[in-house]
Amino acid sequence: MMNFLKRIASFFRGGGTASSGRYFSIYVQSRRCREPLVGQIDLLNEVSLTEEDDSAYYTRKVLHTTGRTRCFDQVEVLVWFNKDKQLLRQEVWGGTWLSEEEYAQAEAEFQARLIEAETPKAEE
């Protein structure tokens, strides 16, 4: 009985296997602002059951740009998962879906554009 109570207490403290694989990262790029965005889906709290035949879970996320380029936008992402909470498909409005590698490249390009925009141009 005591071992059972310790396991329950460990679950609520975030220990054990409850946190492994808990988050699913999503990477998108705003079409209007050309700013790469990253977000996370909490697979324990942010997914809902769906009645579709091919998927078991569904969620919707809205990611906002930072406004650093004086461009404000949001990208809506719909994601469906199977019963094991593995990605089945996604839909993106206002942007494009990126892989982790594509996100890293887009982020580097975005930072370079920011530096270029902030650098004063020498008069000729």
Tens digits of residue pLDDT in 24-44 = 999 999 999 999 999 999 999
Mean pLDDT of the chain: 87
Band (pLDDT 50/70/90 cuts) for residue 15 is very low
| Contact criterion met (CB below 8 Å) for 65 and 27 | no
Digit-coded pLDDT (tens) for 42-71: 999 999 998 877 789 999 999 999 999 999
Q: Which residues contact 75 (CB under 8 A, 6 or more apart)?
A: 28, 29, 30, 31, 37, 62, 63, 92, 93, 94, 95
What is the pTM (predicted TM-score) of this model?
0.76
- Give how far Cα 70 sits from Cα of 8, 67, 102, 106, 117, Å: 48, 5, 23, 18, 12
Q: Which residue has the higher pLDDT, 62 or 20?
A: 62
